[in-house]
Structure 1
Amino acid sequence: MVDTSRRNHLLGLPPARHTGMWREIITPSRTHTQHGTNSPDPIGQGCLGSRSNIADKSGYWGCYRQRMEAGATDRMKSSLPSSSSSGPGPKSHPGATSDETIPGRIHMTTTPSNLCFVVEGQDHTSLTPKEKAYWFREFDSLVTQWITDLANAGPDQGVLDKKLCAEVDSGRFSPPSLVEQTSQRTAKGGEEESRMEILTFNRKLQFFWFRDLRAMETIGKRNAGHVELRKKFLGAYGPGGEMSGEGDAGIRLWVETSVLKGGEVECEYVGCWAGTGLMGFEGEEGFC
């Protein structure tokens, strides 16, 4: 059960009027998924197997695809249309508005082949003083803008759904006011500020559904802010970078990318807000 009342209280949002339940279960093949982290402790899919060095498959466009065993033989292209005019989009359920719940249960066991599910996680708990100062000087506004752009992207850009989550008991590594200042410059008002406040917590996760792996790669390459962020980050934490010295870096990052074939996704939504997860695609091409 999703405890939206507690979440809203902690984030300073209005009390939740309804609480629903949803689940999205994926069973990816090991040949079509990749996991990368700089954490010394197992996390996420890293708990499922032994560690291996992926330094030779890092830091360049397309490295996630090449980390997958099937990357060399499977194009992993979606059967969905790629154009904004014919691509799928979340539909409005009869009688529902964006701030209403959909009564009853929606259950989907069929989705288009090659949907791409991405998990990105960050833990700022152990940032060093030097690293924290560097983060706010060089990265924080770029990260906030990049996540804002992803959160605002829709199916026409290959983004089918996104969820921004945080472990609220982990504390904050930055005051909410900093995110609010960035949001006021770059986003669309109070709702955006509340959503981006998630980024101020020490430990957080972002979940994204993309049309396919290519859509994920494309939006990353085309977003100027992400390109700049990536360049700066690799320069700072890479060999010879300002954060590359022993004891300089305490940030923990991880990313998981899974390409799902037909029959590898199951979704259930009971009494959920309109547009929760992939629910809005029910009945669209490939979703049932």
Structure 2
Amino acid sequence: MESAIPPHLATDRTAAPGPRPGWQPPYPSFVARFAPSVTRVAMAYFGVQYRSDNEPAIVRTALADLDAACADADGPGRVDRAAYVDEAGFRTVVTIAYWDDPARHERWFAAVRPRWLRADGFFVEVLRPSTARFETLFSNDRIEGVAHLAGTLSGEVREHAYWGGARDRVPLGQRDRLDPGAPPAVVDDGQRRVVRGQHNLCLIRSGQDWTDTDGDERRMYLDEVEPVLRAGMDFLRDHGRAIGCYANRYLRVVGADGTFADKTFGMSWWRSLADLDRWAKDHPTHKAIFGQAMKYLSTLGPAARLRLYHEVTVAAADEQYFEYVGCHPGTGLLGAVAVDEAGRR
């Protein structure tokens, strides 16, 4: 059994306890293995929100232009698209692009950013973390998200299936408490709002793939597990700020043909990894999710075809960029900024 932390990033652990000696996880899990030459990645979330039931022409054009740009020489190594309806009733499409070469990303982003942020309702959220600042976890061998840049997974790892495992998989967490810095703030206000990030801001993308399920397993997931998951995601969306969740999106993946895939994921911005840990360990909404998941997995055992994964990033302040054009005040990191008496942020 391997350590989740690759040898080239391993050091003596001082800031977190790690799994207890002799820990044997009850089920297998795997992590993405990046080459030592990859020292930083970029994760860019391009979003657009609108009220109408039908996708407006400006949105269709912008998405087509973004798709074309992603095919450029400096374009991302992986692109995903997903959609959801947010807490204010806006239909929102999010395109997620990943790079393992920061220089390529910077050249590409400099050209694409002003074209994407073309009108009200468009936004972009970017992290460029070092590989010491994020971790991944997979229940199987199907790669998702940033792991596509690595192209390979580890063998079975030991740092999982206990509370606090995510912290133990973040390489920087070996010697750093990952405490949060000063909260986000708007640094350029008006119709175009740029938000200053927060040191050790935490982002989790946590996904579910029921593509391969059928029969009783599919019914069990859709009728018993997914509604509890959705309730937890709705709680974080509507009430998460009280427990340190700045914003939560529960998105469904859109396939290459434009139809919804049998995949969803939660995307949550958190004040700190510690806040995320506390919700996962102690909050009734996550206890309900965990309980249903354990019931599902214990019923099906190794025959379960549901595939689960996540990626957790704890980004430095200078690794973040957030810009929103004419978006409603609860959008993304705008929701983390205090509202003054005039209702402006």
TM-score by length of 2: 0.58
Partners of 1:55 and 1:7 in 2: CA distance: 46
Question: Does 2:280 correspond to 1:220?
Answer: yes
- Secondary structure at the aligned position of 2:321 is classed as strand
Partners of 1:144 and 1:205 in 2: CA distance: 10
- The residue aligned with 1:211 is 271
- Secondary structure at the aligned position of 2:162 is classed as coil
- Give CA-to-partner distance per residue, 1:113-136, whole Å, 9 cap, x none: 111111112222221213113324
- Give CA-to-partner distance per residue, 1:159-178, whole Å, 9 cap, x none: 11122222355767xxxxxx
Q: Structure 1 residues 203 and 157 mapped into 2: Cα distance closer, same or farther (>3 Å)?
A: same
- The residue aligned with 2:310 is 255
- The residue aligned with 1:244 is 301
The alpha carbon displacement at 1:63 in A equals 0.7
Query: 1:90–1:275: 8 Å Cα contact kept in structure 2?
Result: no
Question: Does 2:326 correspond to 1:271?
Answer: yes
- Secondary structure at the aligned position of 1:167 is classed as strand
Partners of 1:62 and 1:227 in 2: CA distance: 15
Q: Which moved more, 1:22-31 or 1:52-61?
A: 52-61
Number of residue pairs matched by the alignment? 234
From 100, 103, 111, give the equivalent of 2:197: 111
Q: Structure 1 residues 14 and 55 mapped into 2: Cα distance closer, same or farther (>3 Å)?
A: closer
Q: Structure 1 residues 77 and 272 mapped into 2: Cα distance closer, same or farther (>3 Å)?
A: same
Partners of 1:155 and 1:230 in 2: CA distance: 21
- Give CA-to-partner distance per residue, 1:162-208, whole Å, 9 cap, x none: 22222355767xxxxxxxxxxxxxxxxxxxxxxxxxxxx72222211
Q: Which amino acid aligns with 1:63?
A: G
User: Which residues in structure 2 correspond to 1:1-12 (within 5 Å)?
Assistant: 2=47, 4=49, 8-9=53-54
- Give CA-to-partner distance per residue, 1:231-265, whole Å, 9 cap, x none: 4424543xxx32223xx322222211100112010
User: Which residues in structure 2 correspond to 1:22-171 (within 5 Å)?
Assistant: 22-49=123-150, 50-80=152-182, 104-108=191-195, 110-136=196-222, 138-168=224-254
Q: CA RMSD in A?
A: 3.4
Unmatched 5+ residue regions in structure 1? 81-87, 94-101, 173-200
- The residue aligned with 2:114 is none
Q: Structure 1 residues 158 and 123 mapped into 2: Cα distance closer, same or farther (>3 Å)?
A: same
RCO comparison, higher one (Cα < 8 Å, 6+):
1
- Secondary structure at the aligned position of 2:221 is classed as helix
- Secondary structure at the aligned position of 2:309 is classed as strand
Q: Which amino acid aligns with 1:75?
A: R
Q: Structure 1 residues 70 and 235 mapped into 2: Cα distance closer, same or farther (>3 Å)?
A: farther
Q: Structure 1 residues 54 and 271 mapped into 2: Cα distance closer, same or farther (>3 Å)?
A: farther
Partners of 1:259 and 1:41 in 2: CA distance: 24
- The residue aligned with 1:193 is none
Partners of 2:250 and 2:273 in 1: CA distance: 20
Larger % of strand: which?
2
- Secondary structure at the aligned position of 1:126 is classed as coil
Partners of 1:118 and 1:15 in 2: CA distance: 21
- Secondary structure at the aligned position of 1:8 is classed as coil
The alpha carbon displacement at 1:41 in A equals 3.1
The alpha carbon displacement at 1:39 in A equals 4.4
Q: Structure 1 residues 59 and 8 mapped into 2: Cα distance closer, same or farther (>3 Å)?
A: farther
Partners of 2:338 and 2:290 in 1: CA distance: 38
Q: Structure 1 residues 278 and 244 mapped into 2: Cα distance closer, same or farther (>3 Å)?
A: same
TM-score by length of 1: 0.69
The alpha carbon displacement at 1:90 in A equals 8.7
Query: 1:103–1:272: 8 Å Cα contact kept in structure 2?
Result: no
Q: Which moved more, 1:260-269 or 1:147-156?
A: 147-156
